[in-house]
Amino acid sequence: MAQKNDSTTIKVSARETGSSRSTRRLRREGQVPGVLYGRGQDPVSFAVDARELRHALAGSGAVLSLELGGEKTSAVLKDTQRHPVRGEIIHIDLLRVDLNQPIAAIVTVEIVGGEDSPGVRDGGIISQITREVNVEALPSAIPETISFDVSGVEVGDTLGLELLEMPEGVTLLDETEDVVLVTVTPPTIDAEAEEGDEIETETELVGEDGAGAEASEGDDDASGDDAGDSAGE
């Protein structure tokens, strides 16, 4: 249902906050500037190797272990800024945490098993309405994602947030009443195709009537000719 990972250690170096020129120089050197906040301590500005940071964020769970000046500090991701075109991280904010104290976090909900559901086999469309939830847990217990199995859904189903099961040690903070998690709507009908079918049906009906009318007129003419022939005789 959920994936949990041990914290990943990354080495960071203290940096002096200064001009944007020094920040740009850091980035050219393959470093990402960042700030460490929290737990009543002064913010600490640091720089971290961009490649090491990328690997750490991809392979870790909620917690990062920062090694700064020989000391390690547990932290979680608070915010990132990315380049608008390349998408790479250009600044990061981290928040100090106590591994023995629960924290609140936002976790992504991932739906699984949709392709095997009766609703999809019948042409239904699964829509995920709620994609993120607020949870509380110890920093090391916060999952990367929470999976929701929809392999049994059928067309017309509406599944509420109350059906989402939390991993052990994780508490859902969101209200669940009237909160929709997933819906399964009936298959859509192509309006143009439907209209074309209606026109084709109407054409067939008109054609049948027309053929019948012509046949009737022909019969009437034949009867009139027969009557004239009889009168002439």
163, amino acid identity: L
pLDDT value of residue 227: 45
Residue 15 has pLDDT above 50, yes or no: yes
Residue 192 has pLDDT above 60, yes or no: no
Mean pLDDT of 224-230: 47
CA 233 → CA 220, 224, 225, distances in Å?
20, 14, 13
Residue 191 has pLDDT above 60, yes or no: no
pLDDT value of residue 198: 56
Hey, what are 188's tokens? Answer: 């859509």
Instruction: Please compute, for residue 171, the number of CA atoms within 13 A of its CA located in the half-sphere on the CB side.
Output: 7
8 A C-beta contact, residue 45 and residue 33? yes
- Average pLDDT taken over every residue of the chain: 82
> Buried b vs exposed e over 131-165: b needs ≥16 C-beta within 10 Å?
eebebbbbbbbbbeebbbebeebebebebebeebe
Q: What is the pTM (predicted TM-score) of this model?
A: 0.66
Domain 104-185: homologous superfamily in CATH = Ribosomal protein L25, C-terminal domain (2.170.120.20)
| Lowest mean pLDDT across 102-106, 160-164, 206-210 | 206-210
> Buried b vs exposed e over 46-82: b needs ≥16 C-beta within 10 Å?
bbbbbebbeebeeebbbbbbbebeeeebbbbeeeeee
Strand partners, 68: 71
Top-tier CATH class for 8-97: mainly beta
Mean pLDDT of 33-44: 91
- Cα 116 to Cα 142: distance, rounded to the nearest angstrom: 29
Mean pLDDT of 54-79: 84
Give the residue extent of every domain in the chain. 8-97, 104-185
pLDDT band, residue 21 (cuts 50/70/90): confident
Q: SS3 of 211, please?
A: helix
pLDDT band, residue 197 (cuts 50/70/90): low
Hey, what are 150's tokens? Answer: 């929809």
